[in-house]
Amino acid sequence: MLSINAVINAYNRSMHIQENIQLRSLNTMATPAIAKWFAVAQTEEDILFAVDFCKEKQCQLLVLGEGSNTVFINNLNVLVLANRIGGAGQIRNLFSSDAIEFVSETTSSVDFLIGAGVKWHQVVEQSLQNGYSGLEQMALIPGLVGAAPIQNIGAYGSELKDVLQNVHAIDTRTGEMLEFSNRQCEFAYRDSLFKQKPGQYIITKVQLRFSKHEVIYKLDQLYPALRKAVKKKIAEKSITDQTVNSQAIFDAVCAVRESKLPNPKEMPNAGSFFKNPIISQEMMSGLLKAFPAVVHYPVDEGFKLAAGWLIEQAGLKGVFCENGVACYDKQALVIVNPKMSSGQQVIKFAALVQQKIVEKFGVELEIEPRLYEFKEKELHCVST
C-alpha cells in the first residue's frame, strides 16, 4: 500500500478532477454520456488518490482505457478515471522509454513489464521492430495494455494468455498493490477474473514474454482469411515457401483488418458486439440437421459457432434502423453507430439481433463489450 504522503504528492503534483465531462469522444462507439467527475491517472499514486476521492464522495470509480470495448448507456454519477500509466499517445521508442521495464531474459525469450496506459498495437509493432516476436496475430487490436487482460484479447487463434506472465493491479477496496500470475487471472475465451469482478482491480502494469527468435507459422494452420492474405503477399514476392515469419503475419493481419473492419474514427463501433457462442455436442448435432452449412469449430467445451455467420444468415448484415445503428456490411458481428446515437438505441438494436438469432437458430448471443448504466444510485456493468 502507498503511504499517505504519496497520495498527497499526487494531489499536489497534477491530478486534476474535472466535473461534468462528456464521454462521447472517449468511447469508440461514440455514445453520449456525462461523467459527474473525470480524471487522468499517470501514476499509481494518482489511482490511490482517485480511490480516496471516491470514498470521500461515496461514489463509484470506473477505469477507462481507450473505450474500445465500452458502451455508455446513460449519464454516470461516478468518477471516470482514464488510466494512462506509462502511456498517453504515441511513443517513438517504446522499448527504450520509461513506459517499459526490462525484467529478465533467457537465450530464447525476454520479459518486459509494460505500463497500462501504453497503446496495445504500439507494443506489437515496436516489439517486431526491436527483434521480439509472438504478438503479431494480435496486431491492430485497439485499446491499451491495461485493458488487454480484461477480456483476454485475442485474434486468429492467438490470445493474450499465451504471452502474459503476470498482472500488477491495485485492489480498490484496500489500496493494496497485488500481483496476479497468469493462472490467477483465470483467463478463458474473451474472459478473465477481472471481467468477472468489474471495478475491483485497477491494472497498472502487465508483464509479457516475447520470443527472441522469429516465430515461424505454417500456412495450413492459419485462419482461412489470414492464410489468403499471406498467400497474396507471398505471390506478390514470388516466394513459394509453406511457412512465413512474424513480420509477414503482422503485415497480413493489418491488411485484412484494414480491409474488413470499420475504423472507429470514421464509423463508430466497439468491435465484435457479440461473443461467438459455445454450444454442446447435442445442440450442435441438432443445428447441423437444420442448417448443414452452419460455421462451427470444435473447442474444449463443445463447439464454437461463428456469430457473424448466424447474423448474416438471419438477413441482418447491413441492416440498419432509423437512428443509423446497424450490423456492419463487411462483418455483421460488428454493430456500427454512424449517427452517434445513444447507448439505449444501440442496445435496443442489439436486443433485436439477439431475438432474431434465438428465433432462427435457438442460440443465445452474449454481448461482448462492457455496457455501463447508472441507476438506483449505482453504476452497473450490465453485460457481466
Question: Which does residue 64 bind out of ligand NAP, ligand FAD, none, counting CB within 5 to 8 angstroms by kind?
Answer: ligand FAD
Residue 272 falls in the annotated catalytic set: yes
Nearer to ligand FAD (CB atom), residue 78 or residue 287: 78
Query: Binding ligand FAD by CB under 6 A: which of 128, 164, 270, 333?
Result: 270
CA gap 200, 66 in Å, rounded: 19
CB of residue 138 to ligand FAD, shortest distance in Å: 7
Which of 127, 133, 246, 272 is the catalytic position? 272
C-beta of residue 62 within 8 angstroms of C-beta of residue 79? yes
Contacts of 236 (CB under 8 A, 6+ apart): none
Question: Which does residue 28 bind out of ligand NAP, ligand FAD, none, counting CB within 5 to 8 angstroms by kind?
Answer: ligand FAD
Residue 322 falls in the annotated catalytic set: no
CB of residue 272 to ligand FAD, shortest distance in Å: 7
Verify binding: residue 277, ligand FAD, rule CB under 6 A.
no
CB of residue 190 to ligand NAP, shortest distance in Å: 7
Residue corresponding to grid cell 461482448: 368
Residues 115-154 that bind ligand FAD (CB under 6 A): 116, 141-144, 146-148, 150-151, 153-154
Nearer to ligand NAP (CB atom), residue 255 or residue 283: 255
Q: Where are the alpha helices (DSSP H) in the chain?
A: 4-13, 44-57, 120-129, 193-196, 224-237, 246-260, 281-290, 307-313, 343-361
Nearer to ligand FAD (CB atom), residue 28 or residue 246: 28
CA gap 79, 69 in Å, rounded: 18
b (16+ CB within 10 A) / e for 190-225: bebbbbeebbebbbbbbbbbbbeeebebeeeebeee
CB of residue 346 to ligand NAP, shortest distance in Å: 15
Nearer to ligand FAD (CB atom), residue 119 or residue 361: 119
CA gap 104, 172 in Å, rounded: 29
CB of residue 49 to ligand NAP, shortest distance in Å: 32
Q: Which residues bind ligand NAP (CB under 6 A)?
A: 155-157, 223-225, 260-261, 271-272, 276, 297, 306, 308, 331, 368
C-beta of residue 209 within 8 angstroms of C-beta of residue 222? no
The amino acid at residue 328 is Y
Element (H, E) at 271: strand 269-272
CA gap 351, 73 in Å, rounded: 14
Residue 22 φ/ψ, nearest 5 degrees: -75, 130
Nearer to ligand FAD (CB atom), residue 86 or residue 142: 142
Which of 190, 209, 257, 370 is the catalytic position? 190
Torsion region of 236: left, alpha or beta (phi above 0 gives left; psi -120 to 50 gives alpha): alpha
Q: Helices 4-13 and 44-57: crossing angle, nearest 10°? A: 90
Question: Which does residue 60 bind out of ligand NAP, ligand FAD, none, counting CB within 5 to 8 angstroms by kind?
Answer: none
CB of residue 3 to ligand FAD, shortest distance in Å: 22
Which of 368, 370, 373, 383 is the catalytic position? 368
Question: Which does residue 150 bind out of ligand NAP, ligand FAD, none, counting CB within 5 to 8 angstroms by kind?
Answer: ligand FAD
Residues 24-63 that bind ligand FAD (CB under 6 A): 28, 62-63
Contacts of 28 (CB under 8 A, 6+ apart): 66, 67, 68, 142, 264, 268, 269, 270
Question: Which does residue 182 bind out of ligand NAP, ligand FAD, none, counting CB within 5 to 8 angstroms by kind?
Answer: none
Strands of the sheet containing 296-299, edge to edge, are: 278-279, 302-305, 296-299
CB of residue 375 to ligand FAD, shortest distance in Å: 17
Nearer to ligand NAP (CB atom), residue 44 or residue 368: 368
Catalytic residues: 190, 272, 368
